[in-house]
RNA sequence: GCGCGGUUAGCUCAGUGGUAGAGCAUCGCUUUUACACAGCGAGGGUCGGGAGUUCAAAUCUCUCACCGCGCACCA
């Protein structure tokens, strides 16, 4: 027995050496695989955010994607798993903001160029760490093709897509009411809004002859109308008339209008219309532009009262500059004193829009932003819905398709402008006339008015706009050889939490740009939780560091623990105990190998009477494992292998061989099982393979990673 | 409001028509030369309630209860 086959199995001594062998072999690169392997298999890795260390969720995708990659490679396919890293726009901006804050700095005080440079080096530093960590997890991806979301060729592709969309009228710039985070000082897409249930006072206030209900008392100064339902008999005689009202800033007049969006049954059936600060009211105003004044801004970008428009009115300075919530409280008291408050319902339950990152209540604002048109016909949405309906893209688990369709149905235009520095700057230029020039480079002059004084849009793209183009951008669309060879890709494996953010956008933009779906199968995994089903978070101190446990128990054990017992789409429960359990399994395999090597040394394998029952069972296992892997039932395959190896092969077959040796059969079993286990436990199996004799004797020369998968 | 799920052993979960499973946990025995990171064995579930289809239901249908998730501009 070779000296390095000591007990127990020591992953620390084996794993790094094995990864190095794989990487040196070049077989991660499909071009280096045997030429006769022509059928392709492609996975584009969801690029991890290069703004911190890898967490356990990353270990999940590495495990699943590596299993698929290794399985298909062993089946003789030209297999490409393309790795990448994401600059992760707003996400990284938030991380970096926190870092700055700790240092007593603020991004709002750093010049754009300087901030960008600093963030770039921060990101590239993290990217390097991340790449090392992916290697430690055993990822058999092609590093020679690695891409970063800010690579020049990726940005060029993104710019080309934007230009095409603009030419087709599918992106447009418009002043619209958008979600604004007063902390992060940027707009957010509808997906980045988190609605939280809250209880707030509902104020019934007196507007002359009308009583109306509102939560947002402070927006009252921005009212431009009172709206009622056209069918509401109570207000019939008021519609179209101006009513005299008493306000905290003195007397005023306001018009009553009729709009079908007003619910007669809610409150008093009358609402105040504040188009500058409420999305509903903005829409109402758009329908009544001729009748009522436009939006009147009374809250600034920091969420403070801005009453400069009312400077000449009494009391305006009293509220000016107050935070929204402070203003609301003081106004409540003042209105009660003035007799303007009819009643207060103190515990009105409603949903409030907040920033998904910091929880700050969003302040709707009207801003010029770029939108991707989703609802027009024909639209990006139609392309995607049609392809999915036709079954060109298959979802795992299948129920995801219903969720996808439901979201697509409710889709609205997508705001892709962000007021941050970190990202791909929007390639649009303005001069002051109405003309917009879409170009990556500064145009010499405006073709319409001739002005040479052009300024670029200060905003950057929503990061999902660019990463939504990832599959074809990384493969070098339109002329790249890789694009022709590997697109459409086979599987997109990612977390179900980014189904809409990313997967849906990739399908839409992929179809739009290339005319083809970006991937045939979407496999979604769940969120990782601890053994008490708690979300992992630093504050709960229940975070499992994948690299830490891999160091302790071995990467292979971690990988198996992440696969077994976890089905697609469902949350993944992991605990250190579980990982330890599979560490024991690795050790079991190791020791069984020691037995096999010892037996073979004792009596070299030669033809014995074959055991049809045992071989039949093995054959069935090969068949089932293959079928399970083909249908993405990884947990099932892994569980069966575990059970078969331990409770049949080790407990029965090996035990029997101690009494009645049959080294040839033993070797057949061992070779087959090691191959079947390789996608799940790549390091230990590769190490064992080195020492295992081939069927004709002599050590295996080929790496296990490119050995042929057992024939089912 | 619309949509999607879940409810199986103490815990975490597999199992989708044919006599209830795994890991961990618990208990007992065994230091037998691959392995104590082990082996052998034990306990433990009327598969959320009810109804139906079927020769047969954890599995299909309906219904109720509870839990979870997603989407959503009701002031």
B50 C1' to A281 CA distance, Å: 49
The H or E element spanning position A116 is helix A112-136
Rg of chain A's alpha carbons, rounded to an integer? Answer: 32
Which of A677, A607, A691 shows the shortest CA–CA distance to A649?
A: A677
B66 C1' to A531 CA distance, Å: 22
* CA atoms of A175 and A365, how far apart (whole Å): 10
* CA atoms of A172 and A156, how far apart (whole Å): 20
Can you give the pLDDT at residue A334? 95
Please name the residue ranges forming H helices in A515-645. 546-553, 555-563, 576-602, 612-630, 634-643
Structure tokens at A231: 């069918």
* CA atoms of A135 and A283, how far apart (whole Å): 52
Can you give the pLDDT at residue A609? 65
The H or E element spanning position A655 is helix A655-659
* CA atoms of A447 and A436, how far apart (whole Å): 10
User: Which conformational region is residue A506 in: left (phi greater than 0), alpha (psi within -120 to 50 degrees), or beta?
Assistant: alpha
A6 Cβ contact list (under 8 Å, min separation 6)? none
SS3 A564: coil
Which of A279, A237, A245, A240 shows the shortest CA–CA distance to A261?
A: A279
Can you give the pLDDT at residue A544? 83
- Chain B: nucleotides below 7 Å from protein CB are 2-5, 11-15, 22-25, 34-40, 70-75
Q: How far is CA A664 from the centre of its chain?
A: 50
Closest residue to B37 measured CA to C1′: A584
* CA atoms of A82 and A493, how far apart (whole Å): 12
* CA atoms of A422 and A187, how far apart (whole Å): 14
B39 C1' to A651 CA distance, Å: 9
B70 C1' to A206 CA distance, Å: 39
Closest residue to B74 measured CA to C1′: A263
Can you give the pLDDT at residue A8? 85
CB-based burial, A56-85: b 16+ in 10 Å, e otherwise? bbbbbbbbbbbbbbbbbbbbbbbbbbbbbb
Report which DSSP code applies to A704: G
- Closest nucleotide to the alpha carbon of A567, via C1': B14
Structure tokens at A489: 């890709």
Planar angle of CA A156, A157, A159, nearest 5 degrees: 65
Q: How far is CA A191 from the centre of its chain?
A: 11
Report which DSSP code applies to A426: P
Can you give the pLDDT at residue A3? 55
What backbone torsions phi and psi does residue A593 show, to the nearest 5 degrees? -65, -40
| Beta-strand relationship, A519-525 and A489-495 | parallel
B59 C1' to A635 CA distance, Å: 20
The two most distant CA atoms of chain A are separated, in Å, by 106
Closest residue to B71 measured CA to C1′: A407
Note whether A446 and A431 are within 8 A (CB). yes
- Closest nucleotide to the alpha carbon of A350, via C1': B74
Structure tokens at A21: 């062998």
Per-block average pLDDT, block size 10, for chain A (712 residues)?
73 94 98 97 97 91 96 97 96 95 96 97 97 96 98 98 96 94 95 90 92 93 94 91 92 93 88 94 92 93 94 92 94 94 90 91 95 86 93 92 90 94 97 92 91 94 97 96 97 94 96 96 89 73 86 92 88 86 91 91 71 87 91 90 90 87 90 95 95 79 94 84
B24 C1' to A84 CA distance, Å: 36
Q: How far is CA A108 from the centre of its chain?
A: 27
B23 C1' to A581 CA distance, Å: 8
Closest residue to B22 measured CA to C1′: A639
SS3 A211: strand
Structure tokens at A548: 């830490």
Closest residue to B14 measured CA to C1′: A565
Note whether A542 and A549 are within 8 A (CB). no
Which of A494, A412, A508, A502 shows the shortest CA–CA distance to A463?
A: A502
B75 C1' to A201 CA distance, Å: 13
- Closest nucleotide to the alpha carbon of A561, via C1': B23
- Closest nucleotide to the alpha carbon of A400, via C1': B4
- Closest nucleotide to the alpha carbon of A598, via C1': B34
Domains of chain A: 188-355 (3.90.740.10), 571-706 (1.10.730.10)
B62 C1' to A401 CA distance, Å: 25
């Amino acid at each position: 027995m070779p000296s390095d086959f000591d007990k127990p199995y020591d992953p620390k001594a084996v794993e790094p050496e094995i990864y190095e062998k794989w990487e040196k072999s070049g077989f991660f690169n499909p071009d280096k695989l045997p030429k006769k392997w022509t059928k392709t298999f492609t996975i584009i890795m969801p690029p991890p955010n290069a703004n911190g260390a890898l967490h356990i969720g990353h270990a999940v995708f590495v495990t699943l994607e590596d299993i698929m990659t290794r399985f298909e490679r062993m089946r003789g396919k030209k297999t490409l798993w393309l790795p990448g890293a994401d600059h992760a726009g707003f996400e990284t901006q938030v991380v970096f903001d926190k870092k700055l804050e700790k240092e007593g700095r603020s991004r709002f005080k750093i010049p754009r160029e300087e901030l960008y440079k600093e963030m770039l080096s921060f990101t590239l530093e993290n990217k390097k760490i991340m790449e090392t960590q992916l290697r430690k997890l055993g990822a058999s991806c092609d590093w020679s093709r690695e891409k970063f979301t800010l690579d020049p060729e990726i940005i060029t592709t993104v710019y080309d897509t934007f230009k095409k969309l603009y030419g087709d009228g599918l992106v447009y710039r418009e002043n619209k009411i958008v979600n604004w985070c007063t902390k992060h000082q940027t707009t957010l897409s509808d997906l980045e809004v988190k609605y939280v249930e809250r209880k707030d006072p509902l104020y019934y206030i007196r507007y002359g002859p009308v009583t109306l209900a509102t939560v947002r008392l402070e927006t009252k100064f921005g009212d431009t109308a009172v709206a009622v339902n056209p069918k509401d008999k109570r207000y019939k005689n008021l519609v179209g008339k101006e009513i005299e009202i008493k306000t905290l800033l003195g007397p005023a007049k306001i018009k009553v209008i009729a709009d079908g969006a007003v619910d007669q049954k809610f409150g008093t059936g009358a609402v105040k219309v504040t188009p500058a600060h409420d999305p509903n009211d903005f829409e109402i105003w758009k329908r009544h532009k001729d009748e009522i004044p436009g939006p009147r801004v009374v809250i600034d970008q920091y969420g403070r009262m801005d009453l400069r428009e009312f400077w000449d009115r009494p009391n305006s300075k009293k509220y000016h500059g107050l935070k929204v919530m402070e203003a609301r409280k003081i106004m409540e008291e003042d209105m009660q004193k003035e007799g303007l408050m009819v009643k207060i319902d103190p515990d009105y339950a409603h949903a409030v829009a907040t920033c998904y990152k910091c929880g700050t209540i969003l302040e709707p604002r009207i801003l010029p932003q770029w939108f991707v048109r989703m609802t027009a016909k024909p639209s990006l949405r139609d392309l995607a819905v049609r392809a999915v309906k036709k079954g060109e893209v298959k979802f795992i688990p299948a129920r995801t398709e219903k969720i996808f369709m439901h979201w697509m149905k409710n889709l609205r235009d997508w705001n892709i402008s962000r007021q941050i520095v970190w990202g791909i700057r929007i390639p649009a230029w303005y001069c002051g006339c109405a003309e917009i020039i879409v170009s990556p480079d500064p145009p010499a002059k405006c073709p319409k008015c001739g002005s040479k004084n052009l300024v670029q849009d200060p905003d950057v793209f929503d990061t999902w706009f660019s990463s939504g183009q990832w599959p074809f951008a990384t493969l070098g669309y339109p002329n790249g050889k890789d694009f022709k060879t590997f697109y459409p890709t086979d599987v997109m494996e990612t977390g179900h939490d980014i189904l809409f953010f990313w997967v849906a956008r990739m399908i839409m933009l992929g179809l739009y740009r290339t005319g083809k779906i970006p991937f045939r199968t979407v496999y979604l995994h769940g969120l990782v939780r601890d053994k008490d089903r708690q979300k992992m978070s630093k504050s709960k101190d229940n975070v499992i560091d994948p690299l830490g446990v891999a160091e302790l128990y071995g990467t292979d054990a971690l990988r198996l623990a992440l696969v077994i017992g976890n089905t697609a789409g469902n949350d993944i429960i992991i605990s250190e105990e579980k990982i330890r359990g599979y560490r024991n399994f690795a050790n079991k395999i190791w020791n069984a190998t020691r037995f096999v090597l010892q037996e073979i040394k004792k009596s070299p394998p030669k033809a014995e009477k074959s055991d049809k029952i045992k071989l039949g069972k093995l054959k069935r296992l090969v068949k089932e494992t293959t079928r399970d892997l083909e249908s993405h039932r990884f947990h099932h395959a892994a569980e069966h292998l575990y059970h078969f190896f331990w409770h049949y092969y080790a407990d029965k077959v090996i035990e029997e061989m101690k009494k009645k040796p049959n080294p040839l059969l033993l070797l057949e079993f061992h070779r087959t099982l090691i191959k079947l286990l390789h996608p799940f436990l790549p390091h230990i199996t590769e190490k064992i393979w080195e020492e295992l004799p081939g069927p004709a004797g002599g050590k295996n020369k080929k790496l296990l990673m490119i050995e042929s998968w057992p024939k089912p």
